[in-house]
């Protein structure tokens, strides 16, 4: 899959972003969560209004992985005050790397991850951090393989369900 292009998402792409966001989140988590909790989360976090605000925020960036003209994954990064937890100006948060199941195992997530590290280095970040649901073994394995280490835990609310996220960090500078 060497002909994957990474491009920044703009407001013109909002419908595509909403579609792939809902699709990949559902594929990843609907088997382990109630229909009501999934619906509530998807409605709140992937609304056009919320995505518009995120796209217009200078401290957040979205990127698509595109094969031919098909979006096959996306990445969301946060800096400064947009970070969901740490809000460290010397850090970059990977909030989302999502790839539709049909493209798993084809290095799409790795290519998006490498884009995140490139952006972090360009922004002179000391480290990159993220949160992964403790039951998402595929993602935990992916980040450990890429050098991330666990440093804390936090609660992630999906609808009415409180879940534990493992917080992980990759040091870029000594």
Q: Count CA within 13 A, CB hemisphere, residue 2.
A: 0
E strand or H helix at 156: strand 149-158
Has 143 been annotated as catalytic? yes
Catalytic residue among 74, 98, 113, 143: 143
**Of 167, 145, 164, which Cα lies nearest the Cα of 155?**
164
Of the CA atoms within 13 Å of residue 118, those in its CB half-sphere come to 10
SS3 88: coil
DSSP string, 119-144: HHHHTT-SEEEEEEETT-HHHHHHHH
CB 31 within 8 A of CB 154: no
The set of catalytic residues is 143
């Amino acid at each position: 899959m060497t002909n994957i292009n990474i491009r920044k998402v703009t407001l013109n792409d909002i419908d595509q972003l909403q579609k792939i966001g809902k699709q990949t989140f559902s594929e990843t988590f609907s088997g382990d969560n109630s229909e009501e909790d999934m619906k509530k989360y998807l409605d709140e976090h992937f609304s056009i209004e919320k995505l518009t605000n995120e796209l217009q925020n200078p401290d957040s960036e979205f990127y698509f992985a595109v094969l031919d003209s098909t979006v096959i994954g996306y990445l969301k990064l946060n800096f400064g005050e947009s970070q969901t937890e740490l809000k460290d100006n010397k850090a970059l948060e990977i909030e989302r790397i999502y790839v539709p199941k049909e493209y798993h195992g084809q290095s799409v997530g790795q290519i998006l991850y490498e884009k995140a590290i490139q952006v972090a280095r360009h922004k002179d970040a000391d480290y990159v951090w993220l949160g992964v649901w403790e039951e998402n073994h595929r993602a935990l394995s992916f980040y450990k393989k890429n050098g991330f280490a666990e440093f804390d835990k936090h609660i992630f609310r999906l609808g009415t369900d409180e879940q534990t996220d493992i917080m992980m960090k990759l040091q870029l500078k000594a």
